[in-house]
Amino acid sequence: MRSSDTPTTRTGVFRKSSYSQSEAACVEVADLDNGTAIRDTKHRDLGTLFFGPDEWQAFIDSTKEV
């Protein structure tokens, strides 16, 4: 995300995969008006990473099975 972009929360709610169940060792994702935010569930105090829509889509595409 460019430094001039200010992240704004669409849902205001971080979520984690249902596959994680009660595990705390995962990442959480939040939808933003201008991208996506992720953070480490176990280390929320270390901050949040923000990705623009194109960056997030490239990540999603790279994780899909071929």
Distance CA 6, CA 16 (A): 23
Q: What is the mean pLDDT of residues 15-25?
A: 73
Q: What is the mean pLDDT of residues 19-36?
A: 81
Q: Could you give the strand order of the β-sheet that contains 27-32, starting from the edge strand earlier in sequence?
A: 27-32, 35-40, 49-51
Q: What's the number of domains the chain is made of?
A: 1
The pLDDT value recorded for residue 52 is 93
Sequence-ordered strand ranges (E) for the chain: 27-32, 35-40, 49-51
pLDDT above 70: residue 37? yes
User: Which domain covers residue 32, as residue numbers?
Assistant: 1-66
Name every residue whose Cβ is closer than 8 Å to that of residue 57 and which is 6 or more positions away in sequence: none
Higher-confidence residue of 36 and 6: namely 36
* pTM of the model as a whole: 0.69
The pLDDT value recorded for residue 3 is 40
